[in-house]
Structure 1
């Protein structure tokens, strides 16, 4: 049945009734759930075999799960979430504990020997020192560069630079023997060291040590100033500790 509407803009346009519009809408959708035995359809999986659906439209089906289905209510959900959070927190703490940067300590231990050579104008000395380097980290530490300079009476008398020192393994300590040449050209100190009337020719040697290290993808510089006494008048091969 067709009726005319009272639209003022287009009075001659017909309007369908509710039944006609519903019929036209249903024709645009495939006839799901038909009860006939048409061989062109498949058995409807949601109708227990009583209905038929067109071939090729199986991916358009919508499955309805009841609200009381046990699959919608997994058991021990809170327990699983809590255990997962605890495991993640524990792993994070372990990573921070093992990878957190710790100290690398540079310590002079003793003067092993002092070899003295007299020349007409200078006093040549070769001082051998024992140095300990300890690594408190859980990763190896690479020594990039080691520098040492010796000062007598606030004047630099010798320098040394080492670039091939071995790495320090994790949680370990290595001892290194470092030799530095100290030529003294000061006339007053030369006279003092060469004087036969003085039995012990004590000089206070200041050592300024800097060391560049690399670990955990970053570099760091350590520095240390230490004082030690040496005898510039004679050879000394008896080690004595640095105070």
Structure 2
């Protein structure tokens, strides 16, 4: 009896082992296919999970499958150990880019930062004196000089010059000039301007006309503003100075000018 039972068990076991795991009628495209990582290092093997309605992965070089309805959404997985995720010298390139940006910004600030523009009244260049005994009055036509020093690394445009001349506390002459000149970067320039003045004062007239008086000087006070334009903005600079004019002589010979400011 025991021999018969043992024989039956062995026959059943042989039939079970000889039975195929997959049905022969199952479509070929639904069979599971194992695959490994793309870079072929063998550290992270992949095993496909069997699913119905799958297609060849378009980004896996034919290895593995993804669902057909998500073909345009899914991409191949890149292993963490893939060298493409660890580009070389990344820190060096980032540090170099930061240093270059800081250097360029510092240079731009250094060269474009606005610096001072110095305007100095340099004195009298020449004068012409005439008298009107009927009033009495003194007519002074004076040519004065301005020294301009540009300390910027870019040129400036002098767009307007306004000057007033005072004798004691009375304004005796005015002048206004536009589009004067241009001063280059770190450059110096001189501006000549002429002011016609009229002094209507009896005491001053006597000082200038009496021959018994040896000194015939008239003190003039010069006040003015200079408008400069650079880098999209304008700036007004004020200046003033004092000068003596010999009102006895008909003309004053031009004399040497003051040196430009440092």
TM superposition score normalised by structure 2 = 0.71
Asked whether the 8 Å contact 1:35–1:50 carries over to 2, the reply is no
Query: What is the Cα deviation at residue 112 of structure 1?
Result: 1.3
Query: What is the Cα deviation at residue 42 of structure 1?
Result: 5.8
Distance 2:61 2:97 in 1: 41
**What SS is found at the alignment partner of 1:193?**
helix
* Correspondence 1:143-222 to 2 at 5 A: 143-222=158-237
Query: What is the Cα deviation at residue 56 of structure 1?
Result: 7.7
Asked whether the 8 Å contact 1:41–1:55 carries over to 2, the reply is yes
Asked whether the 8 Å contact 1:211–1:222 carries over to 2, the reply is yes
Distance 1:67 1:151 in 2: 86
Q: Given the superposition, is the C-alpha separation of residues 58 and 226 from structure 1 closer, same or farther in structure 2, using an over 3 Å criterion? A: same
Q: Please give the root-mean-square deviation of Cα atoms over the aligned residues, in Å.
A: 2.6
Greater CA drift, 153-162 or 53-62: 53-62
Asked whether the 8 Å contact 1:35–1:52 carries over to 2, the reply is no
* Correspondence 1:14-93 to 2 at 5 A: 34-35=30-31, 43-45=56-58, 49=62, 58-93=71-106
Distance 2:64 2:232 in 1: 68
Post-superposition CA distance 1:175-221 (Å, at most 9, x none): 11111111110111111111111233012211001112121222211
Greater Rg, structure 1 or structure 2?
A: 2
Distance 1:156 1:92 in 2: 50
Asked whether the 8 Å contact 1:34–1:52 carries over to 2, the reply is no
Post-superposition CA distance 1:76-125 (Å, at most 9, x none): 22211211111110011011011100111112223111110111111111
Distance 2:252 2:61 in 1: 105
Asked whether the 8 Å contact 2:172–2:198 carries over to 1, the reply is yes
Return 5+ residue gaps in structure 2 as ranges.
Answer: 1-28, 33-52
How many aligned positions are there?
209
- Alignment partner, residue 230 of structure 1: 245
TM superposition score normalised by structure 1 = 0.77
Asked whether the 8 Å contact 1:148–1:161 carries over to 2, the reply is yes
- Alignment partner, residue 114 of structure 2: 101
Query: What is the Cα deviation at residue 47 of structure 1?
Result: 6.3
Greater CA drift, 110-119 or 53-62: 53-62
